[in-house]
A and B are shown apart, each in its own frame.
Chain A
Amino acid sequence: MATISSLETDVQNQLEEIPADDVGVFWSVANEIRPALVEAMNEATLITGEPQFRAVSAPFPIPTGTVFTPLALPNDAVALLRVEGAGSVAFQKYSVWDLDRHFPGWEVATGPSPLAWFPFGLGQFGIYPNLTAPATVILSYVQMPVTTAPPWDGTQVVPFQPEYFDGFKDAAQHYLQLKEGDPEFSQSFGPYNRFLASCERMSNFAWRKNSLRFSRAGGASSAITQIRQK
């Protein structure tokens, strides 16, 4: 798999920096170019909803309880997509608003096993009903592109398809040229637009796989999505 380091040199070339100089001249490789590549990946994640990860090797423990208490997602998770129990059977997804209408009193309802799950903002979620016996579930979620804290040494894997890579380099170039001011910065809008176009293409591809999350125009409808239907 490609790593951040494997994209760095191309960014340096686009900036007319000395290629493969792992320190950098006007732009520090460690403190500027790598963070710019991470920024590009973060932006692509928000636009396309990728990468998606099924944490099959790390079953998530659900504790017992008598009143709803939010559960924190794993550190590498951005947003929860799916929760499954034994035999890979997915639990129904609800929103808090839905629960209030379908299961009044859900906050204090108890039962032996999960029936549904619901997001509680981005970093937390809940299980309905509160469990009388502990259980484990498998989570699928939109994952942070880079799961480790900065500073990044370049060995971090780029968890996207290769079709994204040109876009990441274009976006990083644009972000970094903010430092130069005009006219170089204005000229870097071309590469940034190429990045957005690549995100748009990838959104369309993501839609073919599941639902369109976003387009260049600012997003898909927030009406019922296939995610909710599942």
Chain B
Amino acid sequence: MGQITAGFILQMVSNSLVEWFVNTTLGTTIVAGIQTVAPPSMRGIYQGAMVIVGTGADIEQVTVSSVTASTFTADFLSAHPSTDPVTGATFSSGQPTTPLWTQQEMLSYLVDVQNDFLSAVRPVYKIATQTLSVGVAAYPNPSDAIRVERISVNGTELWDCTQTDIDWQGGYSSRAGQGPFYWYQDKVGPFNFAVDPIPQSGFPARIFYSQLGSTSLGLLSTLTAPDIFWHILKYGVLANAFSKDGEQRDLMRSAYCQQRFDFGCLISAKFLEGLEARFRGPEETVEPMLAMMKGGR
């Protein structure tokens, strides 16, 4: 896990788009700072391009600040020998004036696609803590939550239900001073949850939630989605790239890539369900009304 980077996905995308993949060396030994290097090949390197330099602990992403026919200049964080690799899917076609695609555009597609995938499959979970305060029913979801899956107080699950269910039971007032016993997400605004009865003293709650990916990726960023799914994300990005207006638009291949992405989400969800690795869906976790009518706990 955590071995696949956004840069690798973009490399795979650029292959399918017949874009040049920068794969050269620095050609010049450098110390940290703003340096000019002369790589054996300048193909695919342009002003503004982001490339990956180095290996191991010294690997870094740099942005090319200027180029000549045989050199480029960038601000390096680390020293590098002349043999260190320079790689990257730079999407150089049409640069600098009329690019077909840009790196930032592709990273933006990847952010969206990863979050689409994580929302559809929900393979990654996290726990946050939230203090339930006196007299406060509603609280914001964790900022990186797709959705809250479970809430517990003192190690015991609160029942996942709806405010409508609670209303049918006579409302929280009938249980004032107790609990909380329940949590719900309806009618409390987007990205919020609430507990019932309203706490009459402070409670430390633990929020189990399915995790969203980062909203910003660089070439060296690892992904929130587990590595086994990298090819599915590639097809999602390609579906966007092929559907973009312009001379490279290819709706047939875009539709194909979208279908591969959707199929990937389907088999991934089935994979998690088959292994019972996922929290159950709402249709399975919302307690039956009958149980609610029995008076809670």
Contact = CB atoms under 8 A, between A and B. Distances in A.
Contacts of A70: 125, 127
Nearest to A72: B1
Nearest to B206: A107
Interface stretch (B43-51, B133-141, B192-200, B222-230): B222-230
A115 B92 CA distance: 57
Given A97-B280, A121-B123, A150 B8 contact: yes
Contact of B275 (A72, A148, A227): A227
A213 B152 contact: no
Interface string A105-142: 11111000000000111111000000000000000001
A49 interface: yes
A214 B272 CA distance: 11
Contact of A47 (B11, B17, B267): B267
Contacts of B21: 28, 31
Given A43-B231, A93-B276, A121 B125 contact: yes
Nearest to B285: A97
Given A46-B271, A107-B206, A119 B155 contact: no
A149 interface: yes
B150 interface: yes
Interface residues of B, number: 58
Contacts of B30: none
B157 A104 contact: yes
B1 A49 contact: no
A222 B274 contact: yes
A179 B256 CA distance: 12
B284 interface: yes
Contacts of B4: 149-150
Contacts of A122: 123-124, 226, 228, 272, 277
B68 to A, nearest CB: 26
Contacts of A179: 15-18
A144 interface: yes
A140 to B, nearest CB: 12
A172 B100 CA distance: 26
B274 A97 contact: no
B23 interface: yes
A214 B273 CA distance: 11
B89 to A, nearest CB: 10
Contact of A96 (B2, B17, B150): B150
Interface string B195-237: 0000000000010101000000000000000111111001000
Chain A CB count within 10 A is highest, among B21, B156, B266, B275, for B275
B154 interface: yes
A96 B22 CA distance: 47
A28 B230 CA distance: 19
Given A43-B231, A107-B152, A149-B3, A97 B127 contact: no
B12 interface: yes
10 contacts: A46-B267, A75-B3, A93-B276, A120-B125, A181-B250, A214-B267, A218-B266, A219-B266, A219-B271, A228-B276
Given A121-B122, A219-B274, 13 more contacts: A35-B15, A39-B234, A42-B229, A49-B274, A68-B155, A79-B272, A96-B150, A96-B279, A123-B1, A179-B18, A182-B252, A218-B263, A219-B271
Interface of A: 28, 31-32, 35, 39, 42-43, 45-47, 49, 67-70, 72-73, 75, 77-81, 93, 95-97, 100, 104-109, 119-124, 142, 144, 148-150, 178-179, 181-182, 185, 211, 213-214, 218-220, 222, 225, 227-228
Interface of B: 1-4, 8, 11-12, 15-18, 21, 23, 122-125, 127, 150, 152, 154-157, 206, 208, 210, 226-231, 234, 238, 250, 252-253, 256-257, 263-264, 266-268, 270-280, 284-285
